[in-house]
Structure 1
Amino acid sequence: MTEQDAVEYIRNEWTAREQPGADHFAAMAALMRTHQLMIAELDRLLKGYNLSRTAFLLMATLLISRDHTRPLGQLSKHLLVHPTTVTLVIDQLEARELVVRRPHPSDRRTVLAALTEEGLRVVTKAAQELGAANFGLPGVTDSMAQRLTGVLGQVRGKLGDT
Protein backbone atom coordinates (compact mmCIF):
# COMPACT_ATOMS: atom_id res chain seq x y z
CA MET A 1 0.00 0.00 0.00
CA THR A 2 1.37 3.39 -1.03
CA GLU A 3 1.51 6.10 1.62
CA GLN A 4 -0.80 8.98 0.73
CA ASP A 5 0.53 12.52 0.58
CA ALA A 6 -0.27 14.32 3.85
CA VAL A 7 -1.94 17.26 2.11
CA GLU A 8 -4.09 15.03 -0.07
CA TYR A 9 -5.09 13.12 3.05
CA ILE A 10 -6.08 16.40 4.70
CA ARG A 11 -8.07 17.48 1.64
CA ASN A 12 -9.87 14.12 1.42
CA GLU A 13 -10.73 14.03 5.11
CA TRP A 14 -11.87 17.67 5.08
CA THR A 15 -14.10 16.95 2.10
CA ALA A 16 -15.45 13.71 3.62
CA ARG A 17 -16.54 15.69 6.67
CA GLU A 18 -18.28 18.22 4.43
CA GLN A 19 -16.16 21.10 5.66
CA PRO A 20 -15.99 24.28 3.56
CA GLY A 21 -13.24 25.23 1.11
CA ALA A 22 -11.37 21.94 0.82
CA ASP A 23 -9.07 23.23 -1.95
CA HIS A 24 -8.18 26.37 -0.02
CA PHE A 25 -7.74 24.37 3.18
CA ALA A 26 -5.37 22.02 1.33
CA ALA A 27 -3.49 24.98 -0.17
CA MET A 28 -3.08 26.48 3.30
CA ALA A 29 -1.88 23.14 4.69
CA ALA A 30 0.54 22.64 1.78
CA LEU A 31 2.00 26.12 2.22
CA MET A 32 2.34 25.75 5.99
CA ARG A 33 3.95 22.29 5.74
CA THR A 34 6.36 23.57 3.09
CA HIS A 35 7.19 26.57 5.26
CA GLN A 36 7.90 24.37 8.29
CA LEU A 37 10.14 22.03 6.32
CA MET A 38 11.97 24.90 4.66
CA ILE A 39 12.60 26.86 7.87
CA ALA A 40 13.86 23.75 9.64
CA GLU A 41 16.49 23.36 6.90
CA LEU A 42 17.35 27.09 6.91
CA ASP A 43 17.71 27.08 10.71
CA ARG A 44 19.98 24.04 10.49
CA LEU A 45 22.20 25.75 7.93
CA LEU A 46 22.28 29.11 9.72
CA LYS A 47 23.16 27.51 13.06
CA GLY A 48 26.80 27.28 11.97
CA TYR A 49 26.85 31.07 11.57
CA ASN A 50 25.00 31.69 14.84
CA LEU A 51 22.36 33.60 12.86
CA SER A 52 18.59 33.52 13.15
CA ARG A 53 16.52 33.65 9.97
CA THR A 54 15.57 37.25 10.77
CA ALA A 55 19.22 38.21 11.27
CA PHE A 56 20.21 36.55 8.00
CA LEU A 57 17.35 38.21 6.09
CA LEU A 58 18.20 41.59 7.62
CA MET A 59 21.84 41.18 6.63
CA ALA A 60 20.84 39.91 3.17
CA THR A 61 18.68 43.03 2.75
CA LEU A 62 21.68 45.19 3.64
CA LEU A 63 23.83 43.14 1.26
CA ILE A 64 21.60 44.04 -1.70
CA SER A 65 21.11 47.66 -0.62
CA ARG A 66 23.11 50.56 -1.97
CA ASP A 67 26.27 50.95 0.13
CA HIS A 68 25.05 47.94 2.21
CA THR A 69 23.00 50.46 4.21
CA ARG A 70 19.29 50.89 4.92
CA PRO A 71 17.20 52.95 7.38
CA LEU A 72 15.93 50.88 10.31
CA GLY A 73 12.30 51.77 9.50
CA GLN A 74 12.69 50.44 5.96
CA LEU A 75 14.11 47.18 7.31
CA SER A 76 11.01 46.72 9.46
CA LYS A 77 8.68 47.26 6.49
CA HIS A 78 10.77 45.18 4.10
CA LEU A 79 11.05 42.21 6.45
CA LEU A 80 7.43 42.46 7.68
CA VAL A 81 8.52 42.50 11.30
CA HIS A 82 7.83 44.88 14.18
CA PRO A 83 10.32 47.74 14.57
CA THR A 84 11.21 46.36 18.02
CA THR A 85 12.31 43.11 16.38
CA VAL A 86 14.60 45.03 14.03
CA THR A 87 16.07 46.91 16.99
CA LEU A 88 16.72 43.69 18.91
CA VAL A 89 18.31 41.96 15.91
CA ILE A 90 20.45 45.02 15.12
CA ASP A 91 21.57 45.06 18.79
CA GLN A 92 22.64 41.40 18.52
CA LEU A 93 24.42 41.90 15.19
CA GLU A 94 26.08 45.08 16.43
CA ALA A 95 27.39 43.23 19.51
CA ARG A 96 29.03 40.76 17.10
CA GLU A 97 30.41 43.64 15.00
CA LEU A 98 28.49 42.46 11.92
CA VAL A 99 26.36 45.61 11.64
CA VAL A 100 26.76 49.21 12.79
CA ARG A 101 24.27 52.01 13.30
CA ARG A 102 25.01 55.32 11.61
CA PRO A 103 23.23 58.65 11.55
CA HIS A 104 21.55 59.52 8.26
CA PRO A 105 23.59 62.17 6.43
CA SER A 106 20.62 64.49 5.77
CA ASP A 107 17.86 63.40 8.18
CA ARG A 108 18.94 63.41 11.79
CA ARG A 109 15.74 61.57 12.83
CA THR A 110 16.72 58.53 10.75
CA VAL A 111 19.16 55.86 11.88
CA LEU A 112 20.86 53.69 9.29
CA ALA A 113 22.04 50.11 9.68
CA ALA A 114 25.14 49.16 7.70
CA LEU A 115 27.06 45.95 7.21
CA THR A 116 30.61 45.94 8.53
CA GLU A 117 33.35 44.22 6.54
CA GLU A 118 32.95 41.20 8.84
CA GLY A 119 29.18 41.32 8.35
CA LEU A 120 29.65 41.37 4.59
CA ARG A 121 31.97 38.37 4.83
CA VAL A 122 29.57 36.39 7.07
CA VAL A 123 26.40 37.10 5.09
CA THR A 124 28.15 36.36 1.78
CA LYS A 125 29.46 33.04 3.09
CA ALA A 126 26.07 32.11 4.61
CA ALA A 127 24.29 33.05 1.37
CA GLN A 128 26.67 30.86 -0.62
CA GLU A 129 25.96 27.89 1.66
CA LEU A 130 22.21 28.48 1.62
CA GLY A 131 22.32 28.93 -2.15
CA ALA A 132 24.11 25.60 -2.54
CA ALA A 133 21.27 24.05 -0.50
CA ASN A 134 18.60 25.79 -2.65
CA PHE A 135 17.65 28.02 0.30
CA GLY A 136 15.93 25.23 2.20
CA LEU A 137 14.26 23.76 -0.88
CA PRO A 138 16.50 20.77 -1.69
CA GLY A 139 15.52 18.96 -4.85
CA VAL A 140 13.52 21.91 -6.20
CA THR A 141 14.75 22.74 -9.71
CA ASP A 142 15.25 26.28 -10.98
CA SER A 143 12.17 25.83 -13.17
CA MET A 144 10.05 24.70 -10.20
CA ALA A 145 11.37 27.62 -8.11
CA GLN A 146 10.43 30.08 -10.87
CA ARG A 147 6.91 28.62 -11.17
CA LEU A 148 6.49 28.62 -7.40
CA THR A 149 7.63 32.24 -7.17
CA GLY A 150 5.16 33.18 -9.91
CA VAL A 151 2.20 31.42 -8.30
CA LEU A 152 3.03 32.78 -4.86
CA GLY A 153 3.41 36.25 -6.39
CA GLN A 154 -0.13 35.99 -7.70
CA VAL A 155 -1.35 34.82 -4.29
CA ARG A 156 0.54 37.61 -2.51
CA GLY A 157 -1.05 40.09 -4.91
CA LYS A 158 -4.51 38.83 -3.99
CA LEU A 159 -3.58 39.31 -0.33
CA GLY A 160 -2.49 42.91 -0.96
CA ASP A 161 1.27 42.42 -0.82
CA THR A 162 2.90 44.93 -3.13
Structure 2
Amino acid sequence: MTFVLPLDPIADARRRWAEQGWAEAADGMAAVTSLMRAHQIAIARVEAVLKPHGVTFARYEVLMLLYFSRKGTLPMALIGERLQVHPTSVTNAVDRLEVAGLVRRIRHPGDRRATIIEISDEGRAVAEAATSDLNTQVFSKPGISDSSVHDLIRILTELRGNAGDFDAAEAR
Protein backbone atom coordinates (compact mmCIF):
# COMPACT_ATOMS: atom_id res chain seq x y z
CA MET A 1 0.00 0.00 0.00
CA THR A 2 1.34 3.38 -0.99
CA PHE A 3 0.62 6.42 1.12
CA VAL A 4 0.45 9.64 -0.88
CA LEU A 5 1.45 12.75 1.05
CA PRO A 6 -0.83 15.80 0.72
CA LEU A 7 2.18 18.01 -0.06
CA ASP A 8 5.72 17.67 -1.35
CA PRO A 9 7.89 17.52 1.79
CA ILE A 10 11.02 18.50 -0.14
CA ALA A 11 9.35 21.61 -1.58
CA ASP A 12 8.15 22.46 1.92
CA ALA A 13 11.68 21.98 3.33
CA ARG A 14 13.05 24.17 0.53
CA ARG A 15 10.64 26.96 1.48
CA ARG A 16 11.53 26.60 5.16
CA TRP A 17 15.26 26.63 4.32
CA ALA A 18 14.80 29.99 2.65
CA GLU A 19 12.73 31.30 5.57
CA GLN A 20 15.52 30.35 7.98
CA GLY A 21 17.96 32.53 6.06
CA TRP A 22 19.57 29.70 4.11
CA ALA A 23 18.12 30.73 0.73
CA GLU A 24 21.47 30.35 -1.04
CA ALA A 25 21.52 26.66 -0.06
CA ALA A 26 17.78 25.93 -0.44
CA ASP A 27 17.92 24.84 -4.09
CA GLY A 28 20.96 22.63 -3.50
CA MET A 29 19.31 21.04 -0.45
CA ALA A 30 16.17 20.36 -2.50
CA ALA A 31 18.24 18.91 -5.38
CA VAL A 32 20.30 16.60 -3.16
CA THR A 33 17.31 15.52 -1.07
CA SER A 34 15.25 14.87 -4.23
CA LEU A 35 18.11 12.83 -5.68
CA MET A 36 18.32 10.74 -2.52
CA ARG A 37 14.55 10.14 -2.51
CA ALA A 38 14.61 9.27 -6.23
CA HIS A 39 17.39 6.77 -5.44
CA GLN A 40 15.16 5.12 -2.81
CA ILE A 41 12.29 4.90 -5.31
CA ALA A 42 14.51 3.45 -8.07
CA ILE A 43 16.15 0.89 -5.77
CA ALA A 44 12.75 -0.26 -4.47
CA ARG A 45 11.49 -0.77 -8.03
CA VAL A 46 14.63 -2.63 -9.13
CA GLU A 47 14.80 -4.82 -6.02
CA ALA A 48 11.12 -5.79 -6.41
CA VAL A 49 11.81 -7.01 -9.96
CA LEU A 50 15.02 -8.84 -8.97
CA LYS A 51 13.59 -10.56 -5.89
CA PRO A 52 11.87 -13.40 -7.84
CA HIS A 53 15.23 -14.08 -9.50
CA GLY A 54 16.88 -14.51 -6.09
CA VAL A 55 19.38 -11.68 -6.49
CA THR A 56 19.83 -8.19 -5.12
CA PHE A 57 20.93 -5.29 -7.31
CA ALA A 58 24.51 -5.64 -6.03
CA ARG A 59 24.59 -9.31 -7.04
CA TYR A 60 22.89 -8.54 -10.35
CA GLU A 61 25.64 -6.00 -11.11
CA VAL A 62 28.30 -8.65 -10.51
CA LEU A 63 26.47 -11.11 -12.77
CA MET A 64 26.16 -8.52 -15.53
CA LEU A 65 29.84 -7.58 -15.37
CA LEU A 66 30.71 -11.24 -15.81
CA TYR A 67 28.01 -11.70 -18.46
CA PHE A 68 29.48 -8.87 -20.56
CA SER A 69 33.09 -9.97 -20.12
CA ARG A 70 34.65 -11.76 -23.10
CA LYS A 71 35.28 -15.03 -21.28
CA GLY A 72 32.60 -14.79 -18.57
CA THR A 73 35.38 -14.31 -16.02
CA LEU A 74 36.98 -11.40 -14.20
CA PRO A 75 39.44 -11.06 -11.35
CA MET A 76 37.68 -10.27 -8.07
CA ALA A 77 39.67 -7.02 -7.68
CA LEU A 78 38.61 -5.81 -11.12
CA ILE A 79 34.95 -6.43 -10.26
CA GLY A 80 35.28 -4.13 -7.25
CA GLU A 81 37.08 -1.51 -9.32
CA ARG A 82 34.47 -1.55 -12.08
CA LEU A 83 31.55 -1.44 -9.64
CA GLN A 84 33.35 1.19 -7.55
CA VAL A 85 32.68 -0.67 -4.31
CA HIS A 86 34.80 -1.85 -1.39
CA PRO A 87 36.40 -5.30 -1.79
CA THR A 88 34.36 -6.56 1.18
CA SER A 89 31.16 -5.79 -0.72
CA VAL A 90 32.38 -7.76 -3.72
CA THR A 91 33.36 -10.70 -1.52
CA ASN A 92 29.92 -10.70 0.10
CA ALA A 93 28.12 -10.59 -3.26
CA VAL A 94 30.35 -13.31 -4.75
CA ASP A 95 29.90 -15.50 -1.65
CA ARG A 96 26.13 -15.37 -2.04
CA LEU A 97 26.22 -15.86 -5.79
CA GLU A 98 28.53 -18.85 -5.32
CA VAL A 99 26.22 -20.45 -2.75
CA ALA A 100 23.36 -20.02 -5.24
CA GLY A 101 25.43 -21.70 -7.97
CA LEU A 102 25.49 -18.58 -10.16
CA VAL A 103 29.28 -18.07 -10.10
CA ARG A 104 32.37 -20.01 -9.12
CA ARG A 105 35.80 -19.03 -7.90
CA ILE A 106 38.83 -20.10 -9.91
CA ARG A 107 42.43 -19.86 -8.82
CA HIS A 108 44.30 -17.27 -10.87
CA PRO A 109 46.87 -19.15 -13.00
CA GLY A 110 49.56 -16.47 -12.70
CA ASP A 111 48.93 -14.93 -9.27
CA ARG A 112 48.21 -17.08 -6.22
CA ARG A 113 46.91 -14.02 -4.35
CA ALA A 114 44.22 -13.27 -6.96
CA THR A 115 40.91 -15.02 -7.51
CA ILE A 116 39.01 -15.22 -10.78
CA ILE A 117 35.21 -15.24 -10.71
CA GLU A 118 33.37 -17.12 -13.46
CA ILE A 119 29.68 -16.91 -14.27
CA SER A 120 27.97 -20.31 -14.45
CA ASP A 121 25.39 -21.33 -17.04
CA GLU A 122 22.72 -20.88 -14.37
CA GLY A 123 24.13 -17.44 -13.55
CA ARG A 124 23.99 -16.50 -17.23
CA ALA A 125 20.33 -17.63 -17.36
CA VAL A 126 19.46 -15.59 -14.25
CA ALA A 127 21.24 -12.55 -15.69
CA GLU A 128 19.28 -12.84 -18.95
CA ALA A 129 15.90 -13.37 -17.26
CA ALA A 130 16.45 -10.59 -14.72
CA THR A 131 17.60 -8.19 -17.44
CA SER A 132 14.53 -8.97 -19.53
CA ASP A 133 12.28 -8.20 -16.57
CA LEU A 134 14.20 -5.05 -15.63
CA ASN A 135 14.09 -3.81 -19.23
CA THR A 136 10.32 -4.37 -19.42
CA GLN A 137 9.28 -3.25 -15.94
CA VAL A 138 11.81 -0.57 -14.98
CA PHE A 139 14.34 0.58 -17.57
CA SER A 140 11.88 1.17 -20.43
CA LYS A 141 9.46 2.88 -18.00
CA PRO A 142 11.60 4.90 -15.58
CA GLY A 143 8.71 7.15 -14.54
CA ILE A 144 9.73 10.26 -16.51
CA SER A 145 9.46 11.31 -20.17
CA ASP A 146 12.05 10.31 -22.76
CA SER A 147 13.37 13.87 -23.00
CA SER A 148 13.64 14.02 -19.20
CA VAL A 149 15.56 10.73 -19.24
CA HIS A 150 18.13 12.29 -21.59
CA ASP A 151 18.34 15.43 -19.45
CA LEU A 152 18.75 13.34 -16.30
CA ILE A 153 21.55 11.27 -17.85
CA ARG A 154 23.35 14.47 -18.88
CA ILE A 155 22.90 16.06 -15.44
CA LEU A 156 23.96 13.00 -13.48
CA THR A 157 26.94 12.43 -15.78
CA GLU A 158 28.02 16.00 -15.06
CA LEU A 159 27.60 15.45 -11.30
CA ARG A 160 29.56 12.17 -11.42
CA GLY A 161 32.32 13.68 -13.56
CA ASN A 162 32.66 16.68 -11.26
CA ALA A 163 32.89 14.30 -8.29
CA GLY A 164 35.80 12.47 -9.92
CA ASP A 165 33.77 9.33 -10.60
CA PHE A 166 35.54 8.94 -13.96
CA ASP A 167 37.95 10.84 -16.18
CA ALA A 168 35.57 13.13 -18.06
CA ALA A 169 38.23 13.95 -20.67
CA GLU A 170 38.71 10.25 -21.44
CA ALA A 171 34.95 9.62 -21.59
CA ARG A 172 34.47 11.92 -24.60
Q: Compute the TM-score of the two structures, normalised by the length of structure 2.
A: 0.84
Contact 2:106 2:118 in 1 (8 A): yes
Within the alignment, does 1:64 sit opposite 2:64 as a pair? no
Taking the TM superposition and a 5 Å limit, the aligned residue runs for 1:125-144 are 125-135=129-139, 138-144=142-148
Matches within 5 A, 1:3-152: 4-19=7-22, 20-135=24-139, 138-152=142-156
* TM-score, normalising length: structure 1: 0.89
Return 5+ residue gaps in structure 2 as ranges: 1-5, 167-172
Regions of 4+ moved over 4 Å: none
**How much has 1:136 moved relative to structure 2?**
9.1
Asked if 2 retains the 8 angstrom alpha-carbon contact of 1:41 and 1:136, the reply is: no
Partner SS, residue 117 of structure 2: strand
Percent of residue pairs bearing the same amino acid type? 34
Kept in 1, the 8 Å contact 2:59–2:93? The answer is yes
Give, in whole Å, the separation in 1 of the partners of 2:146 and 2:106: 38
- Residues in 2 aligned to 1:16 and 1:103: alpha-carbon distance in whole angstroms: 61
Task: State the aligned residue count.
Answer: 160
> RMSD of the TM alignment (CA)?
1.9
Shift of 1:137: 5.7
Deviation string, structure 1 residues 113-144 (Cα, Å, up to 9, x no partner)? 11111100001100110111233963334433
Answer whether contact 2:45 2:138 (CA < 8 A) is retained.
Answer: no
- Identify the residue that residue 3 of structure 2 maps to in structure 1: none
Q: Report the more deviating stretch, 7-16 or 25-34.
A: 7-16
